[in-house]
Amino acid sequence: MNEIKLEERIAVALAKLILDPSAPPARHIAVGAASPMPAAACWLVKKQGNPVRLSLLHKRSGNPFTEGTRELFDLTGQGRIDLFFLGGGQIDGSANLNLVGTGEWPGMGVRFPGSFGSAFMYFMTPRTILFREEHTPRVFVEKVDNISAPGVSAPGVFRRGTAQALVTGRCVFRFHPERARFSLESVHPGETVESVREATGFTFDVTGDVPFTPDPTAEELALLRGPICDEMMETYPEFCARVFGRKQAA
């Protein structure tokens, strides 16, 4: 269990972005469906002693909402959620997200589960951190087949924020909404600018030497594999078994 799992690396990279001092403060973070890595990242931020309120949509015991998912969207509409996480079956170089599917609408090629709350959350949250472990040209495309949620909006369209960054299995990208492009922030150990380029269907900016994404520290790994795994077992038992090697008690 000493080897660093990719999911752990991604969770730690997400945690660093949550705490990014150059971004607007994240006092209240929400985590949606199918998001074990963002959930782990949020727990890491919290267990490291940072004052943050976490609202985990899929937590069963002690669920934060007494009006169900409706309350999450109402809170976000009011501007009470500072940060959210979104993924995508396809993500393009302008940070457009496709959670619907490939081919003709509504995903007549490969159908993904669907857009969930993305078409609202992406607009109404000051910061969104994008995550997708699979970093291949079929996921990171030049232009998404269908737009669940656009990365940028025309002037005059109400929008509080957009993508801050995109964390993948190979690297961390930073998003620049003013030019609607990603730049390469760091590459995970074993990757290079060239290997990331090979695996990415969109073009992105590179400035100077691109550092490696730092390894999780021993303290971070201990938190993830211990108390954070404890918190996540109920919601994400398969993830905890696969990544942290923890089996659910019968």
Partner 1 sequence: MNPISLEALAAEVPDGAMLALPPDNSLPSVALAKALIRRGVRNLRLLGVPVSGFATDILIGAGCVTSVQTSAVSLGEAGFAPRFSAALRAGTIKVIDATCPAIHTMLQASEKGVPFMPLRGLIGSDILANRPDWKVVPNPFAQEGEDPIVLLPALNPDFVCFHAAMADEEGNVWVGRRRECATIAHASKRALVTVERVVPGNFLEDERLASGAINATYISGIAIAERGARPVALLDEYGFDGAYVSEYARMARSEEGFAAWCAREVFEQKAQAAE
Q: Which parts of 93-122 interact with partner 1 (CB under 8 A)?
A: 99-100, 105-108, 111-122
Pick 122 or 172: Cβ nearer partner 1:
122
**Measured CA distances, 45 to 14, 17, 29 (Å):** 10, 10, 11
Task: State the binding string over 190-229 for partner 1 (x if CB under 8 A, else -).
Answer: ----------------------------------------
Interface with partner 1 includes 85 (CB under 8 A)? no
Interface with partner 1 includes 70 (CB under 8 A)? yes
In the chain, the amino acid numbered 114 is G
Least distance CB 23 / partner 1 (angstroms): 21
How many angstroms separate the CA atoms of 182 and 177, rounded? 9
Stretch that binds partner 1, among 129-137, 154-162, 163-171, 215-223 (CB under 8 A): 154-162
8 Å CB contact between 186 and 150: no
- H helices of the chain, in order, are 6-18, 36-47, 68-78, 118-124, 193-199, 218-223, 229-232, 237-244
Least distance CB 96 / partner 1 (angstroms): 9
How many angstroms separate the CA atoms of 193 and 126, rounded? 29
8 Å CB contact between 39 and 56: yes
Q: How many residues bind partner 1 (CB under 8 A)?
A: 53
Stretch that binds partner 1, among 43-51, 68-76, 192-200, 219-227 (CB under 8 A): 68-76
Least distance CB 120 / partner 1 (angstroms): 4
